[in-house]
Structure 1
Amino acid sequence: MSIIDKIESEQLKKEIPAFNVGDTVKVHTRVIEGDKERIQVYSGIVIGRKGTGINSNFTVRRVSYGEGVERVFPLHSPRIAKIEIERHGEVRRAKLNYLRSRKGKSATTVKEKSPQSRS
């Protein structure tokens, strides 16, 4: 094992829940303002995942005040306190870029995965 692999393996998070593209998640991020630290929650649909190992990240999209907002989170970042899965979505694509052109409720919802297909 090289030195770089050893350093990366120390920084990988162990407690990451298994979520996929199409799932609705709540991402709890640590925000530092001055000398105070607080937790801010960002909720939305995962529209893409990218990378492997320490370089992996995921994109979360939500519609806020009628405007689509996307945010990219590094999966193993120390700024991410917790990732909660609200709903499991059933999609047939690896990237949900088609949600960007949708309006209204169809832009914020994905078909929910049935309980027997969650294995």
Structure 2
Amino acid sequence: MNIKTLVEEVESAYGKRILPKIRIGCIVRVDVLIQENNKQRVQTYTGLLSQYHKSGLGTTITVKRYARGNRVSRIFPVNSPTIQAVKLIKANYKY
């Protein structure tokens, strides 16, 4: 068994998150699981999708938003267990 087949086997077992059809420039909402002391809650992060890096299990998206007059960017690993959902709010394209 070579390395390539081993990597593909692991990615197929763990990379099961299905994303909506998103592109750079879309407005998305990411639901993130936050741990505070001994409680868990879901926090939403809505903003403009500025980067989309596709690399199997290491797939990440960068979402930018304005908070109190400042631009805030946050990078989300898509296959992380803390990401509950990624939803498309407004698309910048037509199919």
User: Do the structures match in fold with TM over 0.5?
Assistant: yes
Task: Tell me the equivalent position of 2:55.
Answer: 52
Looking at secondary structure, tell me which structure has more helix per residue. 1
SS, match of residue 9 in structure 1: helix
Q: Gapped runs of 5+ residues in structure 1?
A: 90-112
Q: Deviations over 1:9-50 (max 9, x none)?
A: 211124321211000000000111122111000000001111
Runs of 4+ with deviation above 4 angstroms: none
| CA positional deviation for 1:77 | 1.3
Q: Which amino acid aligns with 1:12?
A: G
Name the CA shift for 1:51/1:84 in 2 (closer, same or farther; >3 Å): closer
Q: Gapped runs of 5+ residues in structure 2?
A: none
TM-score by length of 1: 0.70
- Name the count of aligned residue pairs: 92
2:25–2:50: 8 Å Cα contact kept in structure 1?
Answer: yes
Looking at secondary structure, tell me which structure has more strand per residue. 2
Q: Distance in 1 between matches of 2:50 and 2:7?
A: 30
Task: Tell me the equivalent position of 1:28.
Answer: 31
TM-score by length of 2: 0.86
Matched, 1:64 2:30: no
Percentage identity across paired residues of the two chains: 27
Higher RCO by CA contacts (8 Å cutoff, separation 6 or greater): 2
